[in-house]
Chain A
Amino acid sequence: MTRNEFFGAHDPRQLEIWQKATIGIAGAGGLGSNIAIALTRAGIGRLIIADFDLVSPSNLNRQQYFMDQIGEPKVEALRHNLERISPYTRIDIYQDKIDPSNLSLIYSDAQIMLEAFDLADQKAMLLEAWTAKYPERHLIAASGLAGVGSGENIKIEHYGKLHIIGDGISELSPGISPVSARVAIVAAMQANLCLELLLKESQ
């Protein structure tokens, strides 16, 4: 398989921009695993992915892992899955809990950061730390994605270099489950905005 065969009808100028890009993904759960697959298929040249967790049975209802990967570190399982999809994305992984002290050690090369954490306090930590460290770099975060339906309420809010995708409301609670389809919608919107920003900034 050649590069041209893999990317088929991709516009060569756009593909070159994506192939040269390095993107950070913070978290490899429902958002992160879906984002990584979308960006790998699109042809991003290098992904930096960090997550401390292991694959557990309840991850399989919405995260891009397989039954035989239960117990493996998520970042290792995800890299393996991505390498099965494409040889045209370099995958750098860190099995680590991200905090302000290791953020720049892990993600210094990331042109754009995609926030893919589960807990709100972790999201807030990343937004504060990234904005303080790299005010000139985009950060695409997610907030409000639990449950089913209300696809029309999922929107993008732009605050300068900070972009937040979600409905801004839906939180896990009785009757509101974490469901694969809606998580994947938000993850795909994060990846989509990332690809768009790379093209815009290269003009």
Chain B
Amino acid sequence: MINVNGHNIDWQEGMTIRDILNVMRYTFRMLVIKVDGKLVPKTDYDTFTVADGAEVHVIHLISGG
């Protein structure tokens, strides 16, 4: 089990950030992702694997300022 933005979802061996985005059906264009407090660079979404029990925050960034 991992926690993504407050929702518990099933964990699978070798689960990547990309897998989580697919499971959650997040299609935001611009994201920042933190796993257990550590920011994961965009270039690592396909390779960074998430451990069981991890807390994941997917932060949606919106233009304007």
Contact = CB atoms under 8 A, between A and B. Distances in A.
Interface string B22-65: 00000001111010010101100000000000000101111111
24 contacts: A116-B65, A118-B63, A118-B64, A121-B30, A124-B30, A127-B39, A127-B61, A128-B32, A131-B39, A132-B41, A142-B64, A142-B65, A143-B59, A143-B60, A144-B64, A145-B65, A146-B64, A159-B37, A169-B62, A170-B62, A171-B64, A172-B63, A172-B64, A183-B64
For the complex of A and B, 10 pairs with smallest distance between CB atoms: A120-B30, A31-B65, A131-B39, A120-B61, A120-B63, A118-B65, A146-B64, A144-B62, A160-B37, A123-B61
Contact of B64 (A128, A131, A164, A178): A178
Interface of B: 29-32, 34, 37, 39, 41-42, 57, 59-65
Interface in A10-42: 27, 29-32
Contacts of A178: 64
Contacts of B62: 120, 143-144, 146, 166, 168-171
Q: Which of B34, B57, B61, B64 lies at the interface centre, i.e. has the most chain A CB atoms within 10 A of its CB?
A: B64
Contacts of A145: 64-65
A124 B39 contact: no
A47 B29 CA distance: 32
Contacts of A146: 62, 64
Given A127-B39, A144-B62, A170-B62, 16 more contacts: A118-B64, A118-B65, A123-B61, A123-B63, A124-B30, A124-B31, A124-B61, A127-B61, A128-B32, A128-B39, A128-B41, A142-B64, A160-B37, A164-B59, A171-B62, A183-B64
